[in-house]
Structure formats: C-alpha cells, structure tokens
DNA sequence: CCTCCCTATGGGATCGATCCCACATCGGCG
DNA sequence: CGCCGATGTGGGATCGATCCCATAGGGAGG
C-alpha cells in the first residue's frame, strides 16, 4: 500500500505537490526548521509517509556541505581485537546518528592510501584509523578532514589519538612475572617502531629496571607479522640451551603461536613455561589452563575514538589530544613460579 | 606543496579555471568520457593532481543517480562468524570499487528497520544482510534496492540469498556420530524458525531416518540466544538421568556454552561426552582436545554475497536465485565412540 | 487609518559533477 | 569554392534538498 508499484522513488517535490504546498514548505515541515503551520506540517508528514518518502542523504549532504558519516579503516576484521573495535565504533556512531564507512586493509599501506582517497571523495565528517604510517593522517589533515588514530599512534601532535596505556600494562604484567620468581622472561613482539610495540617493550624494560634486575637482550624476539615466521622464531627461542621460563607475547596472534609451539614441544604450561599475552581474546579463557592476559576493552576503545572524533568535528581548532585508556590484567592458570 | 594551506577543497570548477578550460572539458579530461585533446587532458590531470583534487562522490552520485556503495547489515561483529563475513564482503567490495556502509544490530529488528531507512537515504546500490525478519527485504524491494540475504533466508522467492548448505552439513556430522556408535545425540539449537535452525534440525533428523534409528525428541533442546539461559538448559540436559553421549551444538556460541558446562561438570571430552559444533571458530583448534566442527567459509560466503549482489544490480529483472555453499567437516579430538 | 511586526509560504539560487546539445574549426572531397 | 564530417570545446540544465529572501495577509498599537 505504501509506495506500491511506484516506478521511481518519491522526491520532496512529489511530496510537496501531493500535499499542495511548495518544496520549501515541505522541507520545513519535514526537517522542522523554520515556520510551518502545524496542520500543514502534519499533512505534509502524512503524505511523505504514505509515499514512502525517504530524503536523499546525498543531496542533503551536497547542499549542507556536511556529512553524517565517518570513515573507519582497520587492519583486519578477522582479528577479534579489530572486530571488537569495529563493534564499539559502530554502536557509538549509531547512537550519534552517524553512519560508518568501513574498510580494512591487511596492514598494507597501499590500501591505506586508497581508502584515504575514498574517504575524501565521500566527504566523510571524520575518519578513525588504526594507522600503519603517518601518511593517512597527514593527507587527511591537508584535506581538512579530522582524523583520530586508535590503538597505534603515528602522527603524535598532528592529530588526536585514543590509545591503550601499553607501557603501564606491559610493566605490570612483567612485574607480576618477576614477583613470582621469573628472571628469564622472553618478550615476543611484532616490531618495535610502532607505538604499540615500542611502549610494550619500554614497559617490559622498566619492570626489570624497577626490580633492579639485569635484562638478557637476547630474550627480546622480534617476530614480525607473518605467523609462520613467528612460530619458527618462537621455536628457536624455546629450544635454546638456556630457554626462558616465561614468555610474554605482545599480541594475541603471537600468543597463539607461542601456545601452539609450547604444546608441540611438549612444554607443560605453566609447569615448564609460563605464558602471558597482551590482548585477551576468547580462546584464552577456553583452553586449560587459561592464558593470563592484559585485557584491552576494545569496545570502550572504539567508543572513545568516536567521542574524540565528534569533539574534533565540533571544535576543529581545539588543541590536539591523546586519550589513554588503561588496561586490566586477567590472571589465569598459565602463570606460575618457575620450577 | 599539494593543496597546502587551501581554505576550501578544490572543485572541478577550480581545476578547470586553473587549467584554462571549461568545467565540461575538465570533466571529460578527468573521467575519460568524450572527446578531449590529449595534451589538454594531460594538462587538466596535472593541474588536478597539483591541487589535490578529489571528485565529490556525493555530487557525482546525485547527478548519475547511481551510487558506488553497498549497505551491509550484520548481527554482531564480536562473533567471529559475522566478522569473517564482513571481512569477505569488504575484500570483494573493494575489488569491485564499491565502498561498504556497515551497521550491526544486535539481532534486534528495531535496529534493522532503522538501518534499512539509512540505506535508502544513502541511496546505496544494494544491501547485504543477515536478516532477522522478512521486513527488511520487503521494504528495500519496495524501494527498488536490491537485497541479498546471507547466512539466513527470510524472503525466499522475493530476493536473492547466499546460504550454507545447513541441511547436508548437519546430516553429515550427525551421521558421523551415529557411525562411531552414538545413539543418544542431543541437538542444542538456538531456535527453529529461521532457515539456519530449521535446516540444521532437518539434517539432524534425516541422519537418524537414513540410519533407520529412532529419535528421542527430548534430546532436541532449544536454547535461544541468551548465553546464560543456554548454559542452564545445557546443564539440565547433561545432568539428566539418561544423558546424551554426544552433543551437537548448532552454532559457535552454543558450542562454547556446552564446552564450558561439560568442563564444569567434570565430563571428560570425548571420554564421557562427544561434542561437535556447527561453525568453526579459532578457540576450537586451540583447546585440547580440539572440537570437531562444521566449517563454514565465511570469507567465501561474503564474497559470494557481493558477487550475487553485483549481478542483481546489473540485471534487476533476472530470476531470483539462491546460492548454496557447501560446508566441510573438520574432525578433531572431541569425538569418539561412546564408552 | 496607517504602519509595523509576526506568521506563513513560495521562488529561486545553490551545492559539485555530469552530460546533452550547440557550435567552432579544420581538412578533405566533390 | 562550398559542403560535410570529424574532432574538440563551452554553455546550460539537471540531480534532490536546503535556505535565503521576498512577499502576503492579518492583527495590534499609535
């Protein structure tokens, strides 16, 4: 009954004609801006409803020069960390009546550039990104599009960021391992130039420094992003003549690699090897023993990113801000004093 | 150097003026449609590049009455199944130069309606949805927007769908349990009105029928969507005087509930209880023993949905089609003959 | 009684890109 | 020499919604 069998979608002009008013009046009636007689307003709205009229967001955007959507660029939706981030952003964006254009690069900066241009073309109100370089931030700033970097920071001072306090969390978890008696604690990390890696490494170091203990630099292993390569590195680490008694994996992918490798080598956890992870994902609470992990609230992270972006859209000239969210330590069975 | 310190973003008019040509010529030079002298074309393109010109997709869309973006509505990004689906859709959409507007309802049909209207407002070229009712399909069809239902089907005959062959897969996995000697096989299912539930139930039944075995209807447990309620149901099932020797969980959330409940009750898997899951997610290969599961290729599912949507956009009047993808059975340690 | 303001409404321009159509130029051919 | 077609280019309308501005009617106050 509503808009049944209509060849084309109704426009505001058709609504206006059907209601016997001008486009201007119809617009005022529908948007609620400006003078309209109450009865005219109701009639126009009724007609619009009957015709199944839905205003064209593109046309509105073009005229108003302000869009109601944000661009979101994440690394990898198959990783629960980023998926949770997307979920948080999505919830919060919807609450604020924004739509979300989502893209995921596979950590590739070529796709990052492509996505950036798409966002500019769509004239999004702002962009949230887990960056892989400083380029996206610089490019979008030049195009006058607000950017919030989330999880990682590449453009400190140039654009807002919402991060987890990687340093303190890494220090805390390392300190915990030291407290229960570990001295040979390996850090398996993706890389050390991004803020995530750098800060987690720094936290790990400062735990040793605070405890006044020497640090065996050979226990810091850079495993990169390739899972297979990481497993080879970890296997080499665990089969050394002087193996670590605990492994601190700097992200969930590396924790998985460490967990599987320990199982393959028949190293009992936590009997022969303690394991902790930065980033808590579902499997860590499913396995026996559970894996002790630093829990980042991804949904809160996403929500904070949206909030920060909205503030930036409101006040383009406000000072740049970096928001730090704290992480919590979830202790499970994978940690015990060394034997 | 490029567009540095420009107050406003460059428009095609500014590019045209800077290149000393008309808007029309600039448009032809940039889009490649129509006659342009090669040297003029190159000059215009060079100028556009220097000005950091990015065409306004909204304006283009308004004029062409055809958008380059698709709407995607999924249930829950925190569930790896939907996240994988999103990843597949995203990849394939990018390949075809489409952008993706993503929304997730929490399985709520109120949000479904809201999202539908947003998609209409944005005049997306098409929509991919994991539906929770037939309403979205009906509404968008009335608005002449192509819809592809994915994973579940509510609008059979009215719009395209891309589904997993739930029936065969469920039959196969049930048959496998019967082969190794199980007779009391419980099916723990979310609900039975959606196609996913209905077809999985049907597959389960037909395995019994094919084997000429009677089916104890009391072993079919409808656990709904609430995780806590599901755990209560499963606990009741497993503590019956005549408990099942195997549990077939119809989705990954229920499998998690079953796995945890079995652990709480101290039921050895697979010694006392065999467990199989429909839907393979990461933790199932991390735990010991691994969980035997029906593996749905979520990425392929997402890609197929995009392909189907693109065909529909090309040929709006082609007959409606339902694409069925097969699933594979991944046998792990959670299944063994009953003791 | 006239002016002024308030309430309502309509006309037309505008946002940025596209594209139809008109027109201009030039070479070739009858 | 004139006409035609091929090659290029520019003007103006258009997509749909918004919003400034003009205008009209009516009531109140001087």
Nucleotides of D under 7 A from a protein CB: 7-20
Contact A101 B100 (CB under 8 A): yes
Distance from CA of B100 to the nearest CA of A (A): 6
Mean residue pLDDT of chain B comes to 94
Q: Taking CB atoms and an 8 Å limit, are A59 and B55 in contact across chains?
A: no
Return the beta strands (E) in chain A as ranges.
69-74, 99-104, 126-129, 147-150, 160-164, 185-189, 220-222, 246-249, 274-278, 292-295, 322-325, 328-330
Q: pLDDT tens digit string along A81-110?
A: 999 999 999 999 999 999 999 999 876 778
Over residues B289-310, the mean pLDDT reads: 97
Cβ contacts of B90 on chain A, cutoff 8 Å? 77, 102-104
Assess whether pLDDT exceeds 90 at residue A68: yes
How is A221-276 classified by DSSP, letter by letter?
A: EE--S-HHHHHHHHHHHHTSSS--SEEEESSHHHHHHHHHHHHHTT--TTTT-EEE
At residue B288 the predicted structure's pLDDT band, cuts being 50, 70 and 90, is very high
Edge-first strand order for the sheet with B274-278 is B220-222, B185-189, B246-249, B274-278, B292-295, B328-330
As a whole-number percent, the residues of chain B with pLDDT over 90 amount to 93
A84 → closest Cβ in B56, B78, B99? B78
The reported pLDDT for the residue numbered A8 is: 72
- Per-residue pLDDT, averaged over A164-176, amounts to 98
Sign of the Cα torsion A116, A118, A122, A128 reads: negative
> Among all residues of chain A, which has the CA nearest to that of B89?
A103
Could you tell me the distance in Å between the CA of residue A35 and the C1' of nucleotide D30?
Answer: 28
- Name the minimum distance, in Å, from the CA of A3 to any CA of chain B: 7
Residue ranges in chain B assigned as alpha helix (H): 12-19, 23-31, 38-51, 57-64, 80-95, 109-121, 135-142, 166-179, 195-211, 227-238, 252-264, 283-286, 298-314
- Nucleic strand D interface residues, CB < 7 Å: A 8-9, 11-13, 23-24, 27-28, 30-31, 33, 53, 55-56, 59-60, 62-64; B 20-25, 28, 34-37, 40, 59, 62-63, 65
Mutate: best of B64, B83, B86, partner A, most A CBs <10 A: B83
Residue B314 pLDDT: 94
The mean per-residue pLDDT over the stretch A159-180 comes to: 98
Q: For residue range B214-237, what is the model confidence (pLDDT) as tens digits?
A: 999 999 999 998 889 999 999 999
- Structural domains in chain B? 12-55 (no CATH), 65-165+298-327 (3.40.50.2300), 166-296 (3.40.50.2300)
- Considering only CA atoms, which residue is closest to the C1' of nucleotide C19? B24
Do A86 and B100 count as a contact with CB atoms less than 8 A apart? no
Which residues of chain A are within 8 Å of residue B86 when distances are taken between CB atoms? 77, 83, 86, 102
**pLDDT of A212 strictly over 80:** yes
Q: What is the pLDDT of residue A2?
A: 42
Å from the A32 CA to the D30 C1': 36
Q: What is the pLDDT of residues A29-62, one digit of tens each?
A: 999 888 899 999 999 999 999 999 999 999 999 9
Are the beta carbons of A94 and B100 separated by less than 8 Å?
A: no
Chain A residues in contact with B283 by the CB 8 A cut-off are 282-283, 286-287
- pLDDT reading at B85 higher than 60: yes
Chain B residues with CB inside 8 Å of A56's CB?
A: 62, 121, 123
Residues of chain A positioned with their CB less than 8 A from the CB of B55: 121
- Which residue among B56, B84, B114 places its CB closest to the CB of A123? B56
pLDDT in tens, B249-263: 999 999 999 999 999
| pLDDT of B238 above 70 | yes
Q: From the C1' of D14, which residue's alpha carbon is nearest?
A: B63
What average pLDDT does the structure give for chain A?
Answer: 94
Main-chain dihedrals φ then ψ at residue A292, nearest 5 degrees: -65, 130
A104–B90 C-beta distance less than 8 A: yes
Instruction: Determine the pLDDT at residue A109.
Output: 75
- Please check whether strand C approaches the CB of B62 to within 7 Å: yes
Residue A150 is predicted with a pLDDT of: 98
The 8 Å CB, 24+ separation contacts for B60-64 are B61/A58, B61/B123, B62/A56, B62/A58, B62/A59, B62/A62
- Pick from A249, A301, A295: which is nearest to A273 by CA? A249
Length of chain B: 339
Distance CA A21, CA A119 (A): 37
pLDDT at B321 over 70: yes
pLDDT at A7: 56
- Which residue in B78, B122, B143 is closest to A87 by CB distance? B78
Mean local confidence (pLDDT), A70-86: 96
Q: Considering chain B, what percentage of its residues have pLDDT values greater than 70? A: 97
pLDDT digits (tens, 9 = 90+) for B133-178: 999 999 999 999 999 999 999 999 999 999 999 999 999 999 999 9
Nearest to A99 among B56, B101, B142 (CB): B101
Separation between the CA of A251 and the C1’ of C17 (whole angstroms): 46
Q: Which residues of A touch B333 (CB under 8 A)?
A: none
CB A255, CB A249: distance < 8 Å: yes
Could you tell me the distance in Å between the CA of residue A58 and the C1' of nucleotide C29? 52
Q: Are the beta carbons of A54 and B144 separated by less than 8 Å? A: no
pLDDT in tens, A298-308: 999 999 999 99
pLDDT for A3 beyond 70: no
Q: CB of A274 within 8 A of CB of A263?
A: no
With CA atoms as reference, report the closest residue to B188 among B229, B219, B165. B219
Question: Residue B37: is it exposed, middle or buried by C-beta count within 10 angstroms (0-12/13-18/19+)?
Answer: exposed
Q: Is B329 exposed, middle or buried (0-12, 13-18, 19+ CB in 10 A)?
A: middle
Most confident by average pLDDT, A99-113, A225-239, B2-16: A225-239
CB A244 within 8 A of CB A216: no
At residue B34 the predicted structure's pLDDT band, cuts being 50, 70 and 90, is confident
CA atom of B43 to C1′ atom of D8, Å: 15
Protein CA at A35 to nucleotide C1' at C10, angstroms: 13
């Amino acid at each position: 009954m509503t808009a049944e069998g209509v060849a084309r979608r109704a426009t505001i002009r058709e609504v206006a004609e059907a209601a016997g008013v001008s486009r201007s009046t119809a617009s005022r009636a529908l948007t609620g801006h400006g003078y309209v007689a109450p009865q005219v307003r109701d009639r126009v709205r009724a007609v619009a409803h009957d015709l199944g009229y839905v205003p064209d967001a593109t046309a509105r955007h073009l005229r108003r020069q302000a869009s109601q959507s944000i661009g979101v660029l994440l690394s990898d939706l198959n990783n629960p960390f980023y998926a949770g981030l997307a979920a948080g952003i999505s919830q919060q964006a919807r609450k604020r009546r924004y739509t979300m254009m989502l893209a995921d690069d596979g950590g590739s900066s070529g796709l990052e550039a492509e996505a950036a241009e798409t966002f500019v073309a769509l004239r999004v109100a702002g962009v949230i990104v887990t960056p892989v370089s400083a380029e996206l931030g610089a490019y979008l700033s030049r195009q006058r599009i607000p950017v919030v970097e989330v999880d990682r920071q590449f453009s400190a001072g140039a654009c807002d960021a919402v991060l987890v306090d990687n340093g303190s969390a890494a220090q805390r978890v390392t300190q915990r391992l030291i407290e229960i008696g570990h001295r040979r604690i390996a850090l398996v990390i993706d890389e050390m130039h991004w803020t995530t890696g750098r800060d987690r490494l720094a936290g790990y170091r400062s735990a040793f420094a605070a405890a006044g203990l020497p640090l065996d630099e050979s226990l810091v292993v850079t495993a990169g992003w390739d899972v297979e390569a990481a497993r080879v590195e970890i296997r080499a680490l665990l089969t050394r003549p002087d193996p670590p008694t605990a492994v601190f994996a700097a992200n969930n992918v590396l924790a998985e690699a460490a967990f599987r490798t320990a199982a393959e080598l028949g190293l009992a956890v936590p009997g022969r090897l303690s394991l902790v992870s930065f980033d808590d994902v579902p499997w860590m609470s499913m396995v026996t023993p559970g894996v002790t992990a630093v829990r980042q609230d991804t949904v809160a992270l996403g929500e904070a990113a949206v909030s920060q972006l909205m503030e930036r859209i409101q006040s383009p000239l406000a000072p740049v801000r970096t928001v730090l969210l704290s992480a919590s330590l979830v202790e499970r069975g994978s940690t015990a004093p060394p034997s």
